[in-house]
Amino acid sequence: MRLLLFAAVIGLAAYALRQPRRAGSGGVADDVLITHVRMKLDQLLEHPGSVNIEAHDGVVRLTGPVADRELRPLKRALRRVAGVRSLDCRLTPHAAA
């Protein structure tokens, strides 16, 4: 009986002292982060659908074409999105039509 009681106390202590699980190291799940970045792209770009977004543990990778004049403000704005730890910008700038 003492062994069973001891095991119950250890289990309760382990449950109480466990670290909360976070999605990635930034606290934001990758799919949620992609949604936030997509919303920001929709606000800032003339053709946001041409940009591909990947996210893994707060690292956001962007690929695709973007107007040259939109690139700098876009990078600045995306670095301020909650959950973005770093930005791997592989966008191809082009002259606006």
Q: Helix axis angle, 30-44 relative to 68-78, nearest 10°? A: 140
Question: DSSP state, 63?
Answer: E
Q: Is 72 domain-assigned?
A: yes
Query: Does residue 3 belong to any structural domain of this protein?
Result: no
How many domains does the chain divide into?
1
Q: Could you report the per-residue pLDDT of 63-77, keeping only the tens digit for each?
A: 999 999 999 999 999
Instruction: Give the strand pairing for 86-94 and 59-67.
Output: parallel
pLDDT at 21: 47
Task: Confirm whether 9 is domain-assigned.
Answer: no
26/34 Cα distance (integer angstroms): 13
CATH number at residue 56: 3.30.1340.30
- pLDDT-based confidence at residue 12 (cuts at 50, 70, 90): confident
Instruction: Give residue 62's domain range.
Output: 23-94
CA proximity to 77, closest of 44, 48, 52: 44
Kind of pairing between the strands at 59-67 and 52-56: antiparallel
Domain presence at residue 16? no
Q: Whole-prediction pTM value? A: 0.70
Kindly indicate the confidence band of residue 24, based on its pLDDT and cuts at 50, 70 and 90: very low
Q: What is the pLDDT averaged over residues 28-37? A: 93
So what's the pLDDT on residue 97?
62
